[in-house]
Structure 1
């Protein structure tokens, strides 16, 4: 499950900081799906200066690495769906310019209002226009539900082209079973389903595999065993 290769330093730093700040915690957590998870990542706690700097730097590294590894792939605007995506898209733009201003210095950010403004500059959108632009959605988590569909719809209505999505954590587990069905059925992950349905890369700053590798490097064998057991039970079939 976890790679034997060394994690990039920025991933190691992010995992350590998440542990120190109780963003990454271990125990017994009931998820929305009803599953009992041995770990939980509370992305809402990336709310202080050094923490938002760490997560936005991780997004920037994730995007920069994918662009370097994928010929012809790039983007013009980061779109942050209201509300959680708003600070993420703005701070990630800043970190991208810090990584490589020559390449990323002109990347813009944009976000939507929850309600259309009918005074002042008016409209639904704030920030960079999307018309004719290659757009990456940036958010904390992803599901295959209505939130991502709404973001994609906004981008299309504004004349942009979706070219990718980036989130904080990929739990690498299969989607919950429909009501009345067994969890033992074959299903893909939420990220995998979105990737297939939209036909664009869906990236994550950290995966469950990264967390397992990071915790193993820290000598946290008990946590590693529980995460590996959880993955074995809910491994996606994709």
Structure 2
């Protein structure tokens, strides 16, 4: 599926700065990686490798800058277990440092049967909730978060992610798994009605690779472009 082959180069300085940071930190890697959809992707973004205070703090700054630039209005932050937990906490700290102090909460995978009990930790879920996560592959985690938030009587309002892969989501049918002509982000926006803001998109990664002259980066660029041509969405 050929998508936007002649799309103008990205002029999103924040996105390109984030891509460079992710590559230099070893969080965004190139090679051959199997995705949840069973595809062989030439790149992999692993937010779990933002694994020290300096990297996590800088990551939170990227989230906060993108959230503020998006104009999103929200009342609290929610981090879905597990990767969303440190992300939500770090983003809440960074936003407070910038003068925007918001409560935050997260969930456990297993409900606690002692102490305070339950599966939710932190501030009570209420008002318009911003979900903070790393990437969105199929929208499954978003649906789970939405169900938790609604069950608590709050409003799932928006999602902030680090990277929008801009690729077709998959759907399980009686005949197996098939590609669908929209991405997980498009599904969450169009079908679930939530706003989504991403620090960077796959198109920004491609622009970053196009700026790298010679060496193995040229090979990575060709492979990432071929992957987008096959699985990408507009």
Q: Which residue of the partner structure matches residue 112 of structure 1?
A: 107
Equivalent-residue separation in structure 2 for 1:17 and 1:186 (angstroms)? 32
SS at match of 1:114: strand
Shift of 1:235: 2.0
Aligned in 2, Cα 1:54/1:233: closer, same or farther, shift over 3 Å?
same
Please report the TM-score for the alignment, with normalisation by the length of structure 2.
Answer: 0.85
Q: Which residue of the partner structure matches residue 50 of structure 1?
A: 54
Q: Which residue of the partner structure matches residue 9 of structure 2?
A: 4
Report 1 or 2 for greater relative contact order, CA contacts < 8 Å, sequence distance ≥ 6: 2
Equivalent-residue separation in structure 1 for 2:38 and 2:111 (angstroms)? 36
- Mapped contact 1:142–1:190 kept (Cα < 8 A): yes
Q: Which residue of the partner structure matches residue 70 of structure 2?
A: 66
Aligned in 2, Cα 1:5/1:13: closer, same or farther, shift over 3 Å?
closer
Aligned in 2, Cα 1:154/1:178: closer, same or farther, shift over 3 Å?
closer
Shift of 1:177: 6.2
Shift of 1:118: 4.0
Shift of 1:181: 7.2
Shift of 1:160: 0.9
Equivalent-residue separation in structure 1 for 2:138 and 2:42 (angstroms)? 23
Please, which runs of 5 or more residues in structure 2 have no aligned partner? none
Aligned in 2, Cα 1:37/1:123: closer, same or farther, shift over 3 Å?
closer
- Mapped contact 2:10–2:204 kept (Cα < 8 A): no
Q: Which residue of the partner structure matches residue 159 of structure 2?
A: 165
Q: Which residue of the partner structure matches residue 32 of structure 2?
A: 28
SS at match of 1:140: coil
Aligned in 2, Cα 1:186/1:135: closer, same or farther, shift over 3 Å?
closer
Task: Give the number of equivalent residue pairs.
Answer: 225
Shift of 1:123: 3.6
Please, which runs of 5 or more residues in structure 1 have no aligned partner? 68-72
Q: Which residue of the partner structure matches residue 120 of structure 2?
A: 125
Give the one of 1, 17, 27 matched to 1:13. 17
Cα offsets for 1:69-110 (capped at 9, x unmatched): xxxx40011100122111100100112233x31xx12x1111
Cα offsets for 1:113-163 (capped at 9, x unmatched): 3333344334432222123x1101111122435432221111111111111
Aligned in 2, Cα 1:34/1:3: closer, same or farther, shift over 3 Å?
same
Equivalent-residue separation in structure 2 for 1:177 and 1:163 (angstroms)? 24
Aligned in 2, Cα 1:222/1:93: closer, same or farther, shift over 3 Å?
same
